[in-house]
Amino acid sequence: MQTPINLKKPCRFGGPTVEKGPPLGANYSMALTGPTLTNNGNALDFEADWGTLTTPDGAEWEAGSFHFHTPSEHTVDGKAAVAEMHIVNSPAGASLLAAHASGGEGAYSVVGILFDVGAENTCLKQAFSELTKASCTRNLTNFGLDDCFYQQLTGDYWFYSGSLTTPPCTEGVNWFVMKNRATVSKKQLKVLQSTYLNNARPVQPVNGREVGFHKVV
């Protein structure tokens, strides 16, 4: 039950089971304090209090960080996007450190957003204006995930049970990969690729897991 996997569009043969309902309960907002950007040696990690996530089962989660992979870890019909952002959510009231240390299932819910090359991403302009060297941390101007990625977070999405994509690759992680994609400019992508030429884990076998597709109505 490892992540990432190849996702199929609903119209494809052997594609995911389709359900209909309201948008994912992403209650993200402006960070209460200015976010920090850290190059942790694996990815560019943006830490702040980004708000909350309510998953379809009614569970409450807190978003403490998001990070980037290039190229994308998930593929769609066998094709990778230029980058992928993961918003990491831990159980409400539990710190990311505590959730990670537990090593147990259900420690995280992760929201994935895929990126194409296109218009400059104004929210990430400051972060991608220069390289952030390994083990270095920068303070960023405040911004909110809700304003930056509203179209993506309120749209259709794939969902399945998987794992973290970095060691210890803990399983039992709830995954929600949004269908609508965001954009970065060629210049922004170049900065990201200069930081990590390839920090994406290869696609893993589905191994009989049920992958669903949620259509927002």
The whole-number pLDDT of residue 102 equals 46
Q: What domains lie within the chain, and their CATH numbers? A: 6-216 (3.10.200.10)
Binned at pLDDT 50, 70 and 90, residue 101 comes out as very low
What would the DSSP string read from start to end of 140-166?
Answer: ----BHHHHSHHHHTS-EEEEEEE-SS
Choose the weakest-confidence range: 11-15, 39-43, 98-102, 129-133. Answer: 98-102
Q: How far apart are CA 212 and CA 161, in angstroms?
A: 10
The 10s digit of each residue's pLDDT in 56-88 is 999 999 999 999 999 999 999 999 999 999 999
Q: How far apart are CA 113 and CA 175, in angstroms?
A: 11
**CA dist 196 to 121, 135, 186, Å?**
19, 13, 15
Nearest to 174 by CA among 156, 158, 193: 158
